[in-house]
Amino acid sequence: MTNVKKMIEDYGVSRFIVTCFAVLLLVAAFLQGQDMTILFSDILNRFGMYAFFSLAMVPSIISGTLLNFGITLGILAGVLAGLISLELGLTGFTGIGCALLLAIPFGAIVGFGYGLLLNRVKGSEMVVATYVGYAAVYIMCIGWMVLPFKNPSMIWAIGGEGLRTTITLDGYYDAILSNMLSITVGGVTIQVGMLLIIAFACLLMYLFTRSKMGIAMRAAGANPIYASAVGVNVNRQRIIGTVISTVLGALGIIIYAQAFGFYQLYTAPMNMSMYPVAAVLIGGASTRKIKISHVILGTLLYQTIIAVSVPVVSMLAPEGGLGDVVRIIVSNGIILYALAQAGGNK
């Protein structure tokens, strides 16, 4: 018994509870006779869509700017890069390659400015980040109206002024990475290419945290006074961390969009930052400490719960529209639980 207790404690009590919840949902879905192969495919697909956002939390946490609620800025930069690739009429790998390449400088520029801001609001980064994100979303609402995009598949059909709320990637690079090297095993679609990309990104991040700069960043985040005493420029590390995090957000939204099939504009990116924040927190990270394993496990758990809870509840209560209500309640409930547990597992 004590062994079991110790194992649970080592794993983290909150993480254990969330894991149990996810398993419970899977069991319920199985008992209801849901098509498990579709569910598992959906979980893997969602994991691929959200993993980059979760990974973007790593540099911000280790550099001491805490959970990056301002990932929205990176998302907006990424959307802009993606739209330019569409405007140029690029398709296939050229299209997405162009979008990803443009996303890096866009994200870096936005991240640099955002990092300068965060250095002025030390101690309340997360609150400031949240509102900066909201403000940026609304500023870009104007932006989407006035930016001189001309591609008819992107602008409103009648009148032709401003961009549509959702812009389809059909015919450009819809699901191009998701389908890359994708295989089907026993009915479950495994996006091997996608998983490889994520694994590669995680590996790079892991190596970064062990490089000279990564270690300077960890020191700056863990104890700024210590870091400056050993000759590390703390503000610089925080800016670099923010830049990397923002760039990952920008890349993330392009990967997300190709899997989803659309770029969503206007207020859609508003609460996107909540998902990766909740994911890494239930994965075991805290506002000050994070490992790559927290990113992977957290994203997997969080997306499992979201993907499975909706069909399970829809079958329990088939009245129209309840499924979506449940999705909102569950996802926000998990976010609330994760934030309440933000101490992380020790």
Chain contacts with another protein (rule: CB under 8 A)? 207, 210-212, 215-216, 218-219, 222-223, 225-226, 228-232, 288-289
Comparing CB distances to another protein, the nearer of 150 and 212 is 212
Closest separation in Å from C-beta 222 to another protein: 5
Other beta carbons within 10 Å of 223 = 14
Give CA–CA dist 171/173, Å, rounded.
6
Closest separation in Å from C-beta 281 to another protein: 17
Closest separation in Å from C-beta 316 to another protein: 43
Cα dist from 123 to 5, 10, 28, 126, 287, whole Å: 36, 30, 43, 8, 12
| Distance, CA of 138 to chain centre | 20
Closest separation in Å from C-beta 50 to another protein: 28
Closest separation in Å from C-beta 294 to another protein: 15
Cα dist from 100 to 22, 138, 141, 150, whole Å: 33, 24, 22, 21
Comparing CB distances to another protein, the nearer of 146 and 229 is 229
Closest to 110 in 3D by CA, of 141, 81, 148: 81
Comparing CB distances to another protein, the nearer of 109 and 222 is 222
Q: Give burial (CB, 10 Å; 0-12/13-18/19+) of 77.
A: buried
Closest separation in Å from C-beta 67 to another protein: 17
Comparing CB distances to another protein, the nearer of 217 and 295 is 217
Who contacts 319 (Cβ-Cβ below 8 Å, separation ≥6)? none
Comparing CB distances to another protein, the nearer of 132 and 217 is 217
Rounded to the nearest 5°, which phi and psi values hold at 167? Answer: -120, 120
Comparing CB distances to another protein, the nearer of 120 and 212 is 212
Comparing CB distances to another protein, the nearer of 218 and 238 is 218
Give CA–CA dist 264/272, Å, rounded.
11
The answer to whether 78 and 253 have CB atoms below 8 angstroms apart is yes
Closest separation in Å from C-beta 193 to another protein: 25
Closest separation in Å from C-beta 286 to another protein: 10
Residues paired with 188 in a beta bridge: 185
Comparing CB distances to another protein, the nearer of 104 and 222 is 222
Comparing CB distances to another protein, the nearer of 131 and 226 is 226
Residues paired with 167 in a beta bridge: 263
Q: Give burial (CB, 10 Å; 0-12/13-18/19+) of 281.
A: buried
Closest to 119 in 3D by CA, of 243, 239, 287: 239
Terminal-to-terminal C-alpha distance of the chain: 21
Comparing CB distances to another protein, the nearer of 20 and 203 is 203
* One-letter amino acid for residue 5 of the chain: K
Closest separation in Å from C-beta 12 to another protein: 16
Using alpha carbons only, give the angle 156, 160, 163 rounded to the nearest 5 degrees.
Answer: 45
Closest separation in Å from C-beta 209 to another protein: 9
